[in-house]
Structure 1
């Protein structure tokens, strides 16, 4: 075969090329933005193809889920069963918080946005959204204040990404919680505090630090409360449960614990419900039983070994004699 004669491209290569050409089709705005300027690399084409395929699959999945929901609702209606598990939107709108009648108030201190990277600020605001959602669905909503929001700051910027956040049943403020409430009624929650929170006192304001820092500023909220001369306390984790790993609670987890205790649930039951299963939390009593069991098993094993060693020694002496 003549070496100068060029071989025809294989059909497989043509097919791949045609697929890649479709990615930069002018009809696709995403493709156009990537195709403008320099030619798109093969790696970028593959990445874009995967993105487009994922978007198609996501839309298909949503449609299937909607169809399933419609079918379940229809079956429930035919069977005379309720079609809704939680409260309706109308019920939630009527479930307004009476700030004058509530037993406790919760404030989230959001004055730390300059201490967090943008990614952690986004996580913080996401946790605020979870708090708001939980509170709306609670049978006994708690007056909720988001304080220390810096005008034009990162927290405000991320809050604005949630359409209609201004209409949440929450009191937003740029002022510090210290200026909004009676100092004698404030309790700043901090895991470094030596004071243990055993009961939720009526008319008191419990402050949660809105700082997502991955331990970079450990003890900062505790130091802040001490400097301000206000009370501080920690949740009674070690008094009710035993956890193998170190526990760092999120803002929404702290809120959920307070919410459940306020509804009358015992501390231990609440902590076991809220903490993730992967933390391996156990009731304090169970942990004590496990430790005693392990200790007893060790003692039995030692006694068995001693007995076996004595028997071997006796048998050896008898054989020698």
Structure 2
């Protein structure tokens, strides 16, 4: 019995050994066919289009920027350490001179929340280049920083929070937005953000009335919206009527025929997050009118004459609104925020400081505007890439601008990183203070 089983097993093994060479032979015969198919596919494939000079420049700059990431982190860390050491030395010197420690170490009063919402409409990704999207992310960061540092802070919303803008914040900017406080993110459009903002402003934690807003509420009957010029961008067909459901929403756009006189309480002001070098004129205005939303423009022309266009970066508009809440004076807000390089002359009589080159801190928060107005050197559209041979002279002229622009972009990126680190440290410190305060309370 055992011998028969062994013989059967030996027979099966021999049969398997005979079949194995056949399988190997079959594999060898099919391999040349596969190689022939692969070769034929490679021959039929179209050769890759050569990259233009400008595309190579962009690729090279992006690679250089990525290679220097660790070095920038090190420099930012060293800069923070040096800044802390310098501030300690300055405080020690003031104490040695007899300064009052209570005044020297006094904490800044926290910003007071008011029932006003500022919505950054970032739903224009399709209209911007990669460079412009980077600039927009810088402007959004500065908007958050300005809102938390003023005496009064508004409910800050970011609508259209998706796509490449969100991807950039989560990757290149290391998710610094995760540590932000007082900012709400909305994937939907600005109307979805306005609906949620309305609920927040009317809640018990909606904020307290600033003096400027209280005076606006008292004079609400006198604040009439009157057109001051004809329709700047007529729409095809009849203009839609205003949507009563969103009567508390105002879209700020320079093309509006209405002028913003005062900020109103329990109102959402939408600021277009669009950096397009003014290619899409009237885009924000049409977007608002088609949805029945009120529009308004800042009263820049009533107080000053600009040598350049009246288009401001998103962070500049936010800062102007916050300054008005504090000083209730458009002229002062414009003078302190609008960059010096725009150059302006005040229309109303005033001091010599109110004419000429602009006010103090005019270049503060300027990185967003840089991405909007400065020349980008080798940055070109696809159509321009095809004309490199005809534009060699222009390329030569713009090569000098590339280095300057890259340097500005690097400074902007470093500034954003510093703001993000500082915001994170402040948030952690606030959390510790709140914990200490709650622990010190009597449980009885």
Report TM bin, short chain.
0.5 to 0.7
When the two chains are superposed, the root-mean-square deviation of aligned CA atoms in Å is 3.1
Distance 1:284 1:113, change over 3 A: same
Whether 1:177 and 2:240 are equivalent positions in the alignment is no
Return the alpha-carbon distance in structure 2 between the equivalents of residues 86 and 113 of structure 1.
40
Equivalent position of 1:238 in the other structure: 301
Distance 1:60 1:262, change over 3 A: closer
Equivalent position of 2:346 in the other structure: 283
CA displacement at 1:263 relative to structure 2: 2.1
CA displacement at 1:214 relative to structure 2: 0.9
Equivalent position of 2:159 in the other structure: 147
| Per-residue CA distance 1:108-145 (angstroms, 9 max, x = gap) | 11111222122211211111111111111122210111
Distance 1:83 1:117, change over 3 A: farther
Return the alpha-carbon distance in structure 1 between the equivalents of residues 311 and 125 of structure 2.
19
Distance 1:211 1:86, change over 3 A: farther
Whether 1:221 and 2:221 are equivalent positions in the alignment is no
| Per-residue CA distance 1:16-43 (angstroms, 9 max, x = gap) | xxxxxxxxxxxxxxxxxxxxxxxxxxxx
Equivalent position of 1:159 in the other structure: 169
Which among 228, 249, 264 is matched to residue 201 of structure 1? 264
* Kept after mapping to 2: 8 A contact 1:272/1:282: no
Counterparts of residues 46-195 of structure 1 (less than 5 Å): 62=79, 65-78=83-96, 79-81=98-100, 82-83=103-104, 87=108, 97=113, 102-150=114-162, 153-160=163-170, 161-168=173-180, 169-179=182-192, 180-181=194-195, 182-195=245-258
- The gaps in structure 2 that reach 5 residues or longer are 1-63, 196-244, 353-444
| Per-residue CA distance 1:50-89 (angstroms, 9 max, x = gap) | x8xx98x9589746555433321221233334445873xx
* Kept after mapping to 1: 8 A contact 2:254/2:310: no
Greater alpha carbon shift after TM alignment, 267-276 vs 114-123: 114-123
Equivalent position of 2:315 in the other structure: 252
- TM-score (structure 2 length as normaliser): 0.46
CA displacement at 1:286 relative to structure 2: 4.3
Return the alpha-carbon distance in structure 2 between the equivalents of residues 173 and 207 of structure 1.
13
Which among 312, 329, 333 is matched to residue 266 of structure 1? 329
Return the alpha-carbon distance in structure 2 between the equivalents of residues 158 and 217 of structure 1.
23
CA displacement at 1:103 relative to structure 2: 3.1
CA displacement at 1:171 relative to structure 2: 0.8
CA displacement at 1:166 relative to structure 2: 2.6
Look up the SS of the partner of 2:119 in the other structure. Answer: strand
Return the alpha-carbon distance in structure 2 between the equivalents of residues 59 and 166 of structure 1.
20
Greater alpha carbon shift after TM alignment, 67-76 vs 210-219: 67-76
CA displacement at 1:196 relative to structure 2: 0.7
Return the alpha-carbon distance in structure 1 between the equivalents of residues 124 and 304 of structure 2.
30
Return the alpha-carbon distance in structure 1 between the equivalents of residues 324 and 83 of structure 2.
36
CA displacement at 1:184 relative to structure 2: 1.1
Distance 1:86 1:210, change over 3 A: farther
CA displacement at 1:162 relative to structure 2: 4.3
Look up the SS of the partner of 2:309 in the other structure. Answer: coil
Return the alpha-carbon distance in structure 2 between the equivalents of residues 166 and 61 of structure 1.
24
CA displacement at 1:175 relative to structure 2: 1.4
